[in-house]
């Protein structure tokens, strides 16, 4: 595993591994034990330019390459991930603090999205559009946008880099990837290494490991990329969207959430407890779709709460490399401090801690809070960690109002014995995704993924990925002579 952190601690530009030329280094730490994993000299504005120019040059030939030939690269990449699965899992555990369960989950999804990318290469289809002009043939072509800039987050960095990088490449584009500073290997150079070894031509995929303190807005302002795919917070996403709009480029934004899992009075309580615990505590709650709020009909509140708290008590917090660990460390100390502050604030506002987890370095034990005042800001913001708010309600109408009372609208779930009642409930929620009798955390390669309100703009997966990373081109052919009025 250590070779990943030594060999890949570089920039990958124009098919070459090279050190950055910035004046300082990004230090990559293991969030569990503080071990220094790598030191990476950051990329400068000039290197960002080099990366985009390389992608622009390489894309011309790649975009004209037969789609069946492009497919072979993704088939090989999939085989390499299968072959290196155990090593990659160890890197995920070390760099992210992801548990073994989480590493397996992320690798499973990466493979699923690569399989879909193999098919995406063949997905774009042209059309012949009728014309009111005699003898005119209107051809509509789907063509690559050219170059895509991808900015990935720290929570599922391998998946959320691959999820944009692989489809963009499959559809004939060049790509420049900027991973999060806390996950430069898993989210960046590991992706480059997989595709390099899979035979992707040099220059098509570039990885720049850097920081906005060094490059400012150069990554999103650069004239080459036509689309920026960003996954991260709504605060940064708003800035990305603003800069993209000012520079006439498209942005695809997958942002935060404040999901709710709703338990109606006729639900299977034991099953709902299992779904709610997973939906809140998977990967320490560092998931945009995680259930920050669990809403329970007041008639079953006591039974649900007792069983929920009892199950949460069984979740082991500790070393993510231990197969028994369910909750590993959060990504860094500032995140841990923010979570402790949120719990303290909730209690100060009048909430009761049914379970008050302690914080040791980056290990944050689960907390379960109830009785938070309805007007608390904490109920309307994203809590990115193992802290949950239990909220009672009286009837469906009140539940719908509470669920929608947030600036976010990403995911959610409802539990009920009546499927159509659940579907009708889901239709009333202002969210891009909602699940009946399941958890809140789902992502499938063919189903459009994205949110409403502050949770993002645009969708990825399936046909919506084709829309995101291609553009339409109208070419008309006049058979015979056209008529001009002068």
Catalytic residues: 254, 288
Q: In a 3-state reduction of DSSP, which class is residue 80?
A: helix
- Gap between the Cα atoms of 243 and 460, Å rounded: 21
Q: Which of 330, 334, 113, 155 is nearest to 254 (CA)?
A: 155
Q: Where are the alpha helices (DSSP H) in 247-395?
A: 269-281, 301-313, 333-348
Directed axis angle between helix 157-170 and helix 67-83, to 10°? 160
- Gap between the Cα atoms of 177 and 186, Å rounded: 12
């Amino acid at each position: 595993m250590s070779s990943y952190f030594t060999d890949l601690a570089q920039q990958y530009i124009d098919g070459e591994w090279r050190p950055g030329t910035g004046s300082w280094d990004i230090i990559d730490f293991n969030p569990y034990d503080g071990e220094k994993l790598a030191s990476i000299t950051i990329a400068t504005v000039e290197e960002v330019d080099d990366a985009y120019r390389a992608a622009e040059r390489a894309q011309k030939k790649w975009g004209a390459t037969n789609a069946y030939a492009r497919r072979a690269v993704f088939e090989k990449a999939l085989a390499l991930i299968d072959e290196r699965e155990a090593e990659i899992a160890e890197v995920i555990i070390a760099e992210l603090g992801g548990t073994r369960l989480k590493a397996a989950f992320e690798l499973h999804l990466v493979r699923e999205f690569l399989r879909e990318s193999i098919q995406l290469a063949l997905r774009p289809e042209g059309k012949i559009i009728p014309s009111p002009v005699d003898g005119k043939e209107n051809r509509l072509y789907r063509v690559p946008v050219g170059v895509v800039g991808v900015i990935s987050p720290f929570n599922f960095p391998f998946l959320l880099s691959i999820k944009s990088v692989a489809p963009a490449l499959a559809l004939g584009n060049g790509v420049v990837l900027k991973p999060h500073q806390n996950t430069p290997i898993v989210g960046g150079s590991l992706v480059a290494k997989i595709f390099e070894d899979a035979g992707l031509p040099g220059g098509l995929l570039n990885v720049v490991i850097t920081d906005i303190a060094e490059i400012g807005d150069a990554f999103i302002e650069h004239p080459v990329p036509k689309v920026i795919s960003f996954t991260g917070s709504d605060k940064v996403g708003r800035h990305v969207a603003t800069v993209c709009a000012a520079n006439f480029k498209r942005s695809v934004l997958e942002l935060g959430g404040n999901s709710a899992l709703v338990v109606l009075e006729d639900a299977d309580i034991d099953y709902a407890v299992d779904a709610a615990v997973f939906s809140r505590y998977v990967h320490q709650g560092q998931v945009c779709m995680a259930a920050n709020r669990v809403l329970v009909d007041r008639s079953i509140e006591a039974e649900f709460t007792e069983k929920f708290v009892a199950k949460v008590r069984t979740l082991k917090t500790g070393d993510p490399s231990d197969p028994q660990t369910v909750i590993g460390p959060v990504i860094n100390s500032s995140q841990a401090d923010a979570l402790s502050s949120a719990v303290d604030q909730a209690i100060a506002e009048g909430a009761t801690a049914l379970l008050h987890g302690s914080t040791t370095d980056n290990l944050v034990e689960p907390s379960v809070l109830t009785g938070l005042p309805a007007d608390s800001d904490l109920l309307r913001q994203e809590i990115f960690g193992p802290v949950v708010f239990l909220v009672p309600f009286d009837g469906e109408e009140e539940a719908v109002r509470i669920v929608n009372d947030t600036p976010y609208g990403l995911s959610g779930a409802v539990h009920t014995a009546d499927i159509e009642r659940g579907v009708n409930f889901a239709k009333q929620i202002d969210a891009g995704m909602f699940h009946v009798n399941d958890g809140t955390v789902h992502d499938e390669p063919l189903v459009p993924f994205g949110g409403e309100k502050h949770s993002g703009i645009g969708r990825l997966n399936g046909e919506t990925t084709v829309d995101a990373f291609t553009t339409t081109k109208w070419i008309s052919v006049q058979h015979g002579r056209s008529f001009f009025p002068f």
